[in-house]
């Protein structure tokens, strides 16, 4: 995840330019050839797989129309009716819930590690936070199903019967498994990613400006407010996008706590479904006509969503790195 942190090193480029005219020796030619063939081959195979998935899903898009499929409200394999809307809705909603919970916590963790704790303590803290990412999705799901959902059920019920009476979006039903439970689990899973990117962003803000603020008698909060946050803003956007990119792809843990209900739920406490979780849950039992193709079509939609969100995140991060690199 730390690729591209240093700009492609000037150390390496400068001498190479002076040797451009030097004849490549056979070994070098071979190395380049092998590296080129392997790289091109691996990328071609993966591109072929993408193409093949789209091709497999094509009858579904043809049958319902791309827009029709995306906005279709009904998912009824028994009647060969397939609409992606309930799942798109669930993916976006659970992703949003996860971001609302995870981003403030991650930013504060990044501040704690880079600005407040001395490196000797900050480093181990960062590693422990990173370990959250090492817990397999299925283990989060197991814990979520048997511990988290029962624990948050009374809370869901309380909110639904107080605030929820005024705001239907927070109202009942509150069976336990819900968009909210899924969002909460996803939040725990993306905190390490958002925190790691944010940490790098904060660490790369220029030292001179920080010290200037401290020299003027500023507090640590002044440093954060007037240097770290303004300069790191673009990087923060990248961290959020990359976190969202991870959130929409979370599958198994979500499948176990989201409630598996192929309808658009009116409340965040309703049971629902996401793109990834319906694929995981229905694929092995998909025997109705067009059902496997429709699930693959959902996968293609998820692929598109992931490429857009992550691509945007990567581009924004690269832009931030370039500007931060100049500032140093």
Binding to other proteins (CB under 8 A): which residues in 117-146?
125, 127-129, 131-132, 134-143, 145-146
Smallest distance, Å, CB 266 to other proteins?
Answer: 26
Selected binder of other proteins within 161, 230, 284, 320 (CB under 8 A): 284
Closest CA to 200 of 121, 109, 133: 109
- Which of 160/196 has CB closer to other proteins? 196
Looking at the DSSP bridge assignments, the partners of residue 75 are 82
Looking at the DSSP bridge assignments, the partners of residue 260 are none
- 44: contact with other proteins by CB under 8 A: no
- 90: contact with other proteins by CB under 8 A: no
Taking a C-beta distance cutoff of 8 angstroms, is the pair 302, 275 a contact?
Answer: yes
Task: Report how far Cα 324 is from the mean position of its chain's Cα atoms.
Answer: 23
Selected binder of other proteins within 70, 96, 252, 264 (CB under 8 A): 252
- 63: contact with other proteins by CB under 8 A: no
**Contacting residues for 115 by C-beta, under 8 A, at least 6 apart:** 202, 220, 223, 224, 228
Query: What 3-state DSSP class applies to 81?
Result: strand
Backbone angles phi, psi at 75, to 5 degrees: -125, 100
- Which of 264/312 has CB closer to other proteins? 312
- Subset of residues 10 to 29 that bind other proteins, contact rule: CB under 8 A: 11-13, 15, 25, 27-28
Smallest distance, Å, CB 158 to other proteins?
Answer: 20
Binding mask 166-185 for other proteins (x = CB under 8 A): --------------------
- 186: contact with other proteins by CB under 8 A: no
- 96: contact with other proteins by CB under 8 A: no
Which of the stretches 157-165, 167-175, 205-213, 244-252 binds other proteins when contact is defined by CB under 8 A? 244-252
Give dist(CA 82, CA 66) in Å, integer: 11
Number of residues that bind other proteins (CB under 8 A): 96
Give dist(CA 25, CA 37) in Å, integer: 18
Taking a C-beta distance cutoff of 8 angstroms, is the pair 276, 302 a contact?
Answer: yes
């Amino acid at each position: 995840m730390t690729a591209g942190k240093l700009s492609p090193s000037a150390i390496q480029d400068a001498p190479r330019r002076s040797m451009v005219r030097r004849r490549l020796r056979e070994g070098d030619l071979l190395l380049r050839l092998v590296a080129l063939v392997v790289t091109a081959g691996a990328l071609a195979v993966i591109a072929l797989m993408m193409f093949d998935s789209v091709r497999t899903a094509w009858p579904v898009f043809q049958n319902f129309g791309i827009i029709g499929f995306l906005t279709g409200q009904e998912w009824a394999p028994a009647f060969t009716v397939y609409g992606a809307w309930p799942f798109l809705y669930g993916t976006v909603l659970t992703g949003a819930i996860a971001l609302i919970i995870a981003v403030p916590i991650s930013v504060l963790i990044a501040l704690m590690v880079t600005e407040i704790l001395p490196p000797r303590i900050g480093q181990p803290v960062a590693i422990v936070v990173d370990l959250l990412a090492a817990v397999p999705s299925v283990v989060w799901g197991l814990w979520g199903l048997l511990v988290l959902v029962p624990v948050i059920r009374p809370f869901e019920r309380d909110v639904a019967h107080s605030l929820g009476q005024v705001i239907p979006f927070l109202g009942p039903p509150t069976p336990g498994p819900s968009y909210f439970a899924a969002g909460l689990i996803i939040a725990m899973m993306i905190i390490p990613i958002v925190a790691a990117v944010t940490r790098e962003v904060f660490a790369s803000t220029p030292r001179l400006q920080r010290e200037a603020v401290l020299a003027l008698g500023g507090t640590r909060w002044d440093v954060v407010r007037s240097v770290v946050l303004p300069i790191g803003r673009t990087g923060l956007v990248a961290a959020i996008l990359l976190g969202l990119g991870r959130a929409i792809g979370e599958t198994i843990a979500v499948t176990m706590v989201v409630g598996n209900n192929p309808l658009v739920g009116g409340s965040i406490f309703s049971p629902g479904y996401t793109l990834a979780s319906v694929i995981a849950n229905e694929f092995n039992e998909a025997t109705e006509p067009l059902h496997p193709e429709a699930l693959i079509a959902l996968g293609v939609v998820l692929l598109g969503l992931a490429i857009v969100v992550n691509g945007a995140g990567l581009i924004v991060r690269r832009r931030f790195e370039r500007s931060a690199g100049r500032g140093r």
